[in-house]
Structure 1
């Protein structure tokens, strides 16, 4: 499965939201699995969108045919856009499905990992982080995905911001030490996203 992560700095919030609803046109596209997104909790002008495709070839075909028509509705509403593509590696918890209707927030972590530490980083994700997240109240599902250049995306969906906040407060520092995250990761950025139900496709 291909995971697409789009991050925009939005200049015209209302226009952007109206354009976002037009992405409902993705339904029926061959290989399309789902899309959702919302606003950053820390930076109110930043929007995140997550899209899922069965494979790179289905995605490339969509980009060549229909993308520009759907994207036209949002031109001029944002100042900058960053798009990254990742290949799904494994679930966080079990049975990942790209659905957003039961989640309130998405936590996204983007990690650039030292090349010689990639295998260790992926192993720690499976052995340390996954069980901790899977056992946290309110954590619904997630995935671990990889891009070229030792880049990784960890996406987790939570029933509420409060439940995600509790997990952060109680566990993250201790888990980081156990997983030797500082030794593995060259750069880490992330965000917590309040999902907008009207953006879900």
Structure 2
């Protein structure tokens, strides 16, 4: 499964949201599995979107045929969209589905991992971070994915409330990072906490 992460700075919020409704046209596209997103909690003008496709081939076909027609309604409503593509590696919690049902909050982490630490980083994601997140009340589902540039990773988790995500961060993240030797693995990390906008969901 291919995961597409889009992030942009919106300059016309009403126009952007109106254009976002046009993406319902994705439903007829071969290989399309789902899309959703929302607004950054820390930077209210930043929008994040996550799309899921069965494969890179289906995605490339969509980009060549239909993308520009659906995108036309949003031209001029935002600045500097950054698009990154990742290939699914494994679930953060068993039974991941590319849907946003029941979620109120999204957490995305984008990690640049040191080349000689990639294997260790993946192992720690599997043995330390995933069980901790999966066992946290309020964590619904999540996905761990890797870019073609092999040292680049995406962790996306969906939560039923900001309160539950906040408890997880407060109580566990620092301790887990020490156990997983995250500081030794990661060269750079960015990410965001996102309030899900249900009207953007296409599934």
- Shorter-chain TM range is over 0.9
Residue in 2 that maps onto 1:50: 50
Aligned length: 201
Residue in 2 that maps onto 1:173: 174
- Corresponding residue SS for 1:137: coil
In the aligned structure 2, how far is the partner of 1:93 from the partner of 1:145? Answer: 13
In the aligned structure 1, how far is the partner of 2:159 from the partner of 2:201? Answer: 15
How do residues 157-168 of structure 1 correspond to structure 2 at under 5 angstroms? 157-168=158-169
In the aligned structure 1, how far is the partner of 2:187 from the partner of 2:21? Answer: 36
Residue in 1 that maps onto 2:112: 112
Residue in 2 that maps onto 1:183: 184
In the aligned structure 1, how far is the partner of 2:62 from the partner of 2:175? Answer: 43
1:69-123 CA-to-partner distances (Å, cap 9, x unmatched) read 0000100000110000000000001010011121001100000000110000000
Q: Are residues 1:139 and 2:116 paired?
A: no
How do residues 91-102 of structure 1 correspond to structure 2 at under 5 angstroms? 91-102=91-102
- Corresponding residue SS for 2:132: helix
Residue in 1 that maps onto 2:9: 9
Structure 2: state its 5+ residue gaps. Answer: none
In the aligned structure 2, how far is the partner of 1:28 from the partner of 1:102? Answer: 24
In the aligned structure 2, how far is the partner of 1:111 from the partner of 1:9? Answer: 21
| RMSD between aligned residues | 0.5
Residue in 2 that maps onto 1:29: 29
Q: Which runs of 4+ in 1 moved over 4 A?
A: none
How far did 1:148 drift? Answer: 2.3
Normalising to structure 2: TM-score of the pair? 0.98
In the aligned structure 2, how far is the partner of 1:113 from the partner of 1:4? Answer: 19
- Corresponding residue SS for 2:28: coil
